[in-house]
Chain A
Amino acid sequence: MSGPQGHGVSVRIGHCGKTFADGTHALEPASLDIARGETLVLLGPSGCGKTTMLRIIAGLEEPDEGGKVLFDGKDVTAIPIERRNVGMVFQSYALFPNMSVAENIGYGLRIRGIPATERAKRVAELVALTNITGLEHRRIDQLSGGQRQRVALARAVAIRPGILLLDEPLTALDAALRYRLRGELNRLLRALGITAIYVTHDQSEAMELGDRIVVMRKGAIAQIGSPREIYFEPKDRFVAEFIGAANIVEASLDDGHLILPGGRQAIAGGTSQPAVVAMIRPESIGIVDVEAAPLRGQVESVSFVGDRQRVVVVGASPKPLTVDAPNTIQVDAGDRVGLSIASKAVRLLPPEA
């Protein structure tokens, strides 16, 4: 099934909504196309509908009337999960406690009637690929969280699925391990080149793993784009604030300049408007000499976090501005500082609905 753009199937989701029996709208009708070999991340806070979307693609939930799921153009909406050939990694891993590690990984192959010798070969391959050599005969309750995660992943890809679905696979792990496994997972997904859909509430995970990110909010898609697009060109205030840190500035616009308490700030392609909402990322604000700067304020606090220092500046904008400054410059609370912001680093957001 491998093609020039990677392995697996392409997925089309057409008008898939989900209303639960108790009347909750978990998902507004949404449409989405996922290319063969692409890693798509569904990102959003809990209750945003991302897991429901994943479960509809998996075949664990049925979409409301009118919704369709297509794999390689073929309608699979009515086909149950066991005949969709999907690989799934669950948040709790769902490893079978009554089977050893090797039996867990080989279970899908056993179901498919693969002979034992071939099965053993494939299991050995996956054990090596996911770095769990030596654990084949362990019981599941003898594994650490990170090892369980690897077994779950190996088991899901063992069946050579058309699409790999991952439901918050790293959430159950501690921070350091999560960070390390994220890198491993990324390399594995690239190496396999398989179509993958990854659900998470962690924006840095989404950035690192996603070819494209779908930001979701309250059962609807807020924005779809590459990590860069989502980060630099958020479509609204929710996306801007959910992805990374953002300063939201409410001001009036006069001839291409934001009129702020601490001065004037040029923006790219600006006109005049009585009220606008703008976003400025903390790392795009520079601290400069106070005399020459068009925008000035006073340092309220400085927190040194190692690779940078986070400076909060008041008086420049209606609300305090957060600035990520290099860890070498010397600033203290109470200092008057000038702020330098490139005009294209200021992004206008649509006014609040």
Chain B
Amino acid sequence: MRDRLIFTGQFLFTLLVAAFLVVPTALSITAGVTTNYFRGIQSGLTLQWVAQVWDLYADTIGLSFLIAFATLAVTLLAGVPAAYALHVRGGQLSRLVEEIITLPIAIPGLALALALLLTYGGFGAFRRSWLFILAGHVVFTMPFMVRSVMAIFASVDIKTLDEGAASLGASPWRRFRDVIVPNAVPGILAGSLMVVTLSLGEFNLTWMLHTPLTKTLPIGLADSYASMRLEVASAYTLIFFIMIIPLLVAMQMFAERELTR
């Protein structure tokens, strides 16, 4: 009886906390498809706000995806070999390099952006192009890629596999292609999802680095919050949700598959 009471209490509390988080989300989403939010849902449902957002901000969405996948490409091309080198080499120096790569997680995005602006702000063409935002995103997401790949390297003892392949005559490049990458796939996938998700949602850094012509999705979102009617901003949120939720679910599924292996 007492156990039952405790369970019911905990259950209700959990529901309450969940509601606290979910209700605003649901409200925001409904606001995006309501004709007039101040008159409530009885004013009718509409997709006109979504369409309006698409008209106004489609280019920010496009740019966000361009930057997210470019960030992914760079973190893959630089991050996976870097993780391999750091893992195989080991020692003090590798740990130091790893720490430096990880640093951007701890430093506020604004500070990172300021440093980038101070250093490269003078290069006008670079400063004005989307590549400037790409650079910021790469700095910010690289640790997530390197870390998740290094974690998988440690769990499959990639150093010995590498030595095994070397003893059979494989050059460093063949080892990387035939043995290292195929056995690091789960870590590479997890890292990739993380990088894409983080890049799509990144605001702090991007807000400092963007120009009126290089707005990403979250910047557009802030823009619409500040200057548009509430329904438009909410419709924008809805679009963002639709894009980001599948990525988060995929990430979660990978994490679970890794745990059950």
* Chain A residues with a Cβ under 8 A of chain B: 21, 58, 60, 80-83, 85-88, 90, 92-98, 107-108, 111-112, 155-156, 159, 165
B170 to A92, Cβ gap below 8 A?
A: no
Contact indicator per residue, chain B 201-229, by CB within 8 Å of chain A (1) or not (0): 00000000000000000000000000000
Instruction: Flag whether B122 is at the interface (Cβ < 8 A).
Output: no
Tell me the residues in window 169-192 of chain B with beta carbons closer than 8 Å to chain A beta carbons: 169-171, 174, 178-179, 182-183
For B171, give the chain A residue with the smallest CB separation. A82
Chain A residues positioned under 8 Å from B169 (CB to CB): 82-83, 85, 108, 111-112, 159
> Is B167 engaged at the interface, CB distance under 8 Å to the other chain?
yes
Residues from chain A with Cβ under 8 Å of B179 in the complex:
96, 98
CB distance from A249 to the nearest CB of B (A): 45
> Within the complex, what minimum Cβ distance (angstroms) separates A67 from chain B?
20
Q: Spot the interface stretch: B13-21, B138-146, B157-165.
A: B157-165
The answer to whether A82 touches B164, judged by C-beta atoms less than 8 angstroms apart, is: no
Residues of B bordering A, CB below 8 Å: 91-92, 156-157, 160-161, 163-171, 174, 178-179, 182-183
Q: Give the interface centre of A80, A82, A165 by most chain B CB atoms within 10 Å.
A: A82
Of chain A, the residue at the smallest CB distance from B185 is A98
Query: Shortest Cβ distance from A115 into chain B, in angstroms?
Result: 16
A92, B166: Cβ atoms closer than 8 Å: no
CA–CA, A108 to B175, complex, Å?
Answer: 11
Say whether, besides A21-B91, A98-B179, A107-B178, A92 and B168 are in contact (CB < 8 Å): no
Per DSSP, chain B at the interface is: helix
Contact flag A156-B167 (CB < 8 Å), given A96-B179, A97-B183, A98-B182: yes
Residue from B163, B171, B183 whose CB has the most chain A CB atoms within 10 Å: B163
8 Å CB contact of B167 from A58, A92, A96, A112: A58
A155 to B168, CA, bound (A): 8
Q: Is the CB of B91 within 8 A of A94?
A: no
B156 to chain A, nearest CB (A): 7
List 15 interface pairs A-B (beta carbons < 8 Å), by A numbering: A21-B91, A80-B166, A82-B170, A82-B171, A92-B157, A92-B160, A94-B163, A96-B179, A98-B179, A107-B170, A108-B169, A111-B174, A155-B168, A159-B169, A165-B167
Bound-state CA distance A190–B167 (Å) is 22
How far does the Cβ of A303 sit from chain B's closest Cβ, in whole Å? 41
Q: Taking CB as reference atom, which chain B residue is nearest A20?
A: B91
Of all chain B residues, the one with the shortest Cβ separation from A85 is: B169
Would you call B174 and A94 a contact (CB within 8 A)?
no
Task: List, in ascending order, chain B residues with CB within 8 A of A93's CB.
Answer: 164
Measured CA separation A97–B178 after assembly (Å): 11
Give bound CA distance, A92 to B161, whole Å. 9
User: Within the complex, what minimum Cβ distance (angstroms) separates A201 from chain B?
Assistant: 19
Q: How far is the CA of A96 from the CA of B182 in the complex (A)?
A: 9
In the complex the two chains form, is B170's CB within 8 Å of A111's CB? yes
**In whole angstroms, what is the CA distance A111 to B179 when docked?**
12
The CA-CA distance from A92 to B183 in the complex, in Å, is 16
Interface pair A82/B166, CB less than 8 Å apart: yes
Highest count of chain A CB atoms <10 Å: which of B92, B166, B182: B166
Contact A107–B182 (Cβ < 8 Å): no
Shortest Cβ distance from B161 into A: residue? A94
**Can you name 9 extra interface pairs (CB under 8 A) apart from A90-B160, A90-B164?**
A21-B91, A60-B163, A81-B166, A86-B167, A88-B167, A94-B163, A96-B164, A96-B178, A159-B169
Report how far A285 CA is from B209 CA in the complex, Å. Answer: 87
State A145–B162 Cα separation when bound (angstroms): 20
Task: Report the Cα distance A206→B164, complex, angstroms.
Answer: 24
A152 to B50, CA, bound (A): 60
**Distance of A88 Cα from B162 Cα, bound (Å):** 12
CB-based nearest A residue for B160: A94
Kindly list chain B residues whose C-beta atoms are within 8 Å of the C-beta of A94: 157, 160-161, 163-164
Residue of B nearest to A112 (CB): B169
CB distance from B182 to the nearest CB of A (A): 4
Assess the B91–A81 pair: CB atoms within 8 A. no
The interface residues of chain B lying within 8 Å CB-to-CB of A85 are: 169
A86 to B167, CA, bound (A): 6
Q: Contact between A97 and B156 (Cβ–Cβ < 8 Å)?
A: yes
Closest to B181 in A: A98
Cα of A159 to Cα of B161 in the assembled complex, Å: 17
Docked-complex contact B183 and A88, CB < 8 angstroms: no
Which chain B residue shows the least CB distance to A107?
A: B168
Bound Cα distance from A108 to B174, whole angstroms: 11
Tell me whether A107 and B165 are in contact (CB under 8 A).
Answer: yes
Contact indicator B166/A96 (Cβ below 8 Å): no
Contacts of B165 in A (CB 8 A): 96, 107
> Does the CB pair A81–B167 fall under 8 Å?
yes
| Listed residue (B156, B157, B170) with the most chain A CB atoms within 10 angstroms of its CB | B170
B91 close to A87 (CB less than 8 A): no
Closest to B182 in A: A98
